[in-house]
Chains A and B, each alone.
Chain A
Amino acid sequence: MSGRRSRSRQSSGTSRISEDQINDLIIKLQQLLPELRDSRRSDKVSAARVLQDTCNYIRNLHREVDDLSERLSELLANTDTAQAALIRSLLTQ
């Protein structure tokens, strides 16, 4: 198994992930975070900070999904029959 891994990652030679690879991944993560995305390249953001912010961002998104589910639930309950019929026709398309 380790043989297959090192063959797929010829640059590293061992199964150990190189620092560069991790740094690349952290930069990629950073670009996905609204707060850190716009910070300039020269402003070095620490890996710990990126990971921390990633956690917070995911948690926020989870919370948004919770809220939106509740609102959808209420909206679908309150839609009058005409609109409900409309939506149903949309859903069955």
Chain B
Amino acid sequence: MSFIKVLILKFSSLRTQTMASSDKTINTDVPEKDVFAIHFLQSLSNLTTQNPFNSPDTTNYRARKIKKAAYVSMAKAAGGSSRLWSRALLGRAAKENNKIVRFARRKRKVTWKISSKRRSDQRAPEATDRLRNLVPGGGTMETSKLMEETAHYIKCLSMQVKVMQCLVDGLSPK
């Protein structure tokens, strides 16, 4: 019971923090922490039931699973296919699981064709290319789209880190 209370308290404090500092000029469709947390907790619970967490030699393997679960939960919380990066991330994750996912085709057009013509920004080509490697699906985005997606991706990532930190704090022995 105490753990639940701690968790709820942390979530609500986080929420007020971001409400205060949120920037309304950028895409405001950053997912709620709760949405990500629920996705993430659910996949964690699936993980625990699939393979019990008490065999010590599989910590690394489990950490990798947890990491993957975190990213997938983040992409799902961000609205699945509504964002290019989340779509790319989910696609990649599904590929690793040998599953085929099909997304609606509409949004794809915008990205592919232009990218070959204008692969990098003239002013900072190296930095832009590095960015492409860091943002999921960034390789095929035109520069302005890449920046938009990067902004959204950063917001989601830092949200993910906060929630995971909360979980770690909540689970750590007092």
Q: Is the CB of A28 within 8 A of B45?
A: no
| Contact-size category for B | 35 or more
Main secondary structure, interface of B, reads helix
- Complex CA gap A77/B54 in Å reads 5
Residue B35 interfacial (CB < 8 Å): no
| Contact-size category for A | 35 or more
Q: Is the CB of B127 within 8 A of A48?
A: yes
Residues from chain B with Cβ under 8 Å of A59 in the complex: 134
Residues from chain B with Cβ under 8 Å of A58 in the complex: 131, 134-135, 150, 153-154, 157
Residues from chain B with Cβ under 8 Å of A79 in the complex: 53, 171
Question: Chain B's nearest CB lies how many Å from the CB of A63?
Answer: 10
Q: Is the CB of B48 within 8 A of A32?
A: no
- Complex CA gap A28/B151 in Å reads 7
Which positions in A face B, CB cutoff 8 Å?
A: 1, 15, 17, 21-22, 25-26, 28-29, 31-33, 47-48, 51-52, 54-55, 57-59, 61-62, 64-66, 68-77, 79, 83-84, 86-88, 90-92
| Sample of 18 A–B contacts (CB below 8 Å) | A17-B142, A21-B144, A28-B151, A31-B26, A32-B23, A55-B127, A64-B161, A65-B70, A65-B71, A65-B161, A68-B70, A68-B164, A69-B164, A75-B171, A79-B53, A83-B171, A90-B3, A91-B42
